[in-house]
Amino acid sequence: MQIDIFTLTLLFIAGGFAGFVDSIAGGGGIITLPALLAAGIPPHQALATNKLQSSFGSFTATANYAQKGLLQPLKYLVGVIFTLIGATIGAVLVQYFSAIFLENTIVVMLIVIFVYTLFSPNLGKMEKHAIINKNIFYIIFGLLIGFYDGFFGPGTGSFWTMALILMLGFDLKQATAQTKLFNFTSNIVSLILFIYAGLVIWKVGLVMGIGQIAGAFLGSTLVSKKEIKFVRTFFLIAVGATILKLLFD
């Protein structure tokens, strides 16, 4: 389909803003997917193209966090592998199941996360002791959250961040950085399947991807410099916006 220059420019801006927000607290999809649909792109192609452009952002944020010392990807290889497996299963099974029940359940879970974070001002302020073996954690949550992202998606970053803080004792900065690595992993799985199906609109995805790179670099750089309070505020905004988007849908 033909997309004019003005629309491409707006999509580029949407990609940049989404990359900025997503690199800090997740939730970029609630910006980019509606933008793609508003541009007149059919839903199935919008979903596929959204995965392409978001992969640029999640990769950029992951690389920048690693470069700034907030993330060491090789340390989390077990998590990456099981996220990959979970996302593959989810992406394959989604075509056989209705997502309505899952969507309603996720809204409730996100509300719980939002309220818990809002009334826990010290949550993620400093590192604490893990309450579960790291490898066991990555196997269980890699499969579960990876499956969820492949199957449905909204709020994935929020679930990863909260799980890392509560179960492994990460502070909010560390959790945010590691979340992007797992987001990138599950994004790639979905993207490969969409490419195989021939649903990706490459010109749109690449233009938005350039915006994602700029936004994600800026956002992840800010996280490395700012205090936990800044990240926490963005996290609450992203979770709250995701809840409102799902309720509106």
Domain coordinates of the chain in residue numbers? 5-248
For residues 172 and 161, the answer to whether their CB atoms sit within 8 Å is yes
Its pTM stands at 0.84
Q: Helices 156-168 & 5-25, crossing angle to 10 degrees?
A: 10
pLDDT digits 0-9 by tens, 154-180: 778 888 999 999 999 998 888 999 999
pLDDT digits 0-9 by tens, 104-113: 776 787 788 8
pLDDT, averaged across the chain: 87
